Amino acid sequence: MMNGLLLKRIAVGLGMFAAMAAGGCADGGDGASSAGGPNGDGGATPGASFDGCSKGELEPDREGGLELAGPGVDAGTGALKPGSYLVSTTYLAMKPEMAQKMTELSGPVMESLFTMKGFVAVAATSSSSCAAVRTLTVWESEQDMYAFVGSPAHASAMGHASSISRGTSNVISWEGSEQEATWEEAAKRLGSEAGGDI
């Protein structure tokens, strides 16, 4: 059983799943869904304080549950167990004043995530300098991931997406091994997302 502190650290970022609905959690078949400015910068205007922020670059001040946690993580090594998975990442450029609301929404989403069939692991992180939140989840299958997306807690939280996002929300998923379930791989895939933000 995960301790409360780890759940709290991860929960800070998991509200982001709800915000991803701004771009639509369904990916239209290409594995990508997004909304916001052309560079993944939240649609910030030139000169805004978030100009240096991008979905394709990991923020240097990231904090939170950076390491994967869940039933698919080896307790002895802290590593994701070898296998083939569906990996999903989300990125949200958040309205800074909505941080408390995101935290409130993430609690029920987190609780449901850990009960979902096919859930393997999760990590979540946030950046105060970019007012950005990222998640990385690992699933046994695409069907399992979409069951979570449609779950009551997640669907309820999605109703708040437009009030939390400052314009950019992205979700992208891919099939890969445990070696491809990393923050670096997630940022690379978000950064090369065809068409950028919508």
Q: What is the SS3 assignment for 151?
A: coil
The b/e string for 18-44 (b: 16+ C-beta within 10 A; e otherwise) is bbbbbbbbebeeebbbbbbbebbbbbb
Q: How deeply is 192 buried, as exposed, middle or buried, from its count of CB atoms within 10 A (0-12, 13-18, 19+)? A: exposed
Res 47: pLDDT: 36
132-139 and 119-127 strand pairing: antiparallel
Going residue by residue through the chain, which has 198 residues, state the pLDDT in tens, using 9 for 90 and above. 443 434 433 443 443 333 332 223 323 333 333 334 444 444 433 334 787 888 999 998 898 878 999 999 999 999 999 999 999 998 888 888 888 888 888 889 888 999 999 999 999 998 988 988 899 999 999 999 999 999 999 888 878 877 888 877 788 999 999 999 999 999 999 998 764 442
Q: Which amino acid is at 178?
A: E
Please give the structure tokens belonging to residue 167: 């314009």
Res 104: pLDDT: 87
CA distance linking residue 80 with residue 61, whole number of Å: 24
Closest CA to 19 of 86, 85, 99, 121: 99
Closest CA to 195 of 44, 52, 20, 27: 27
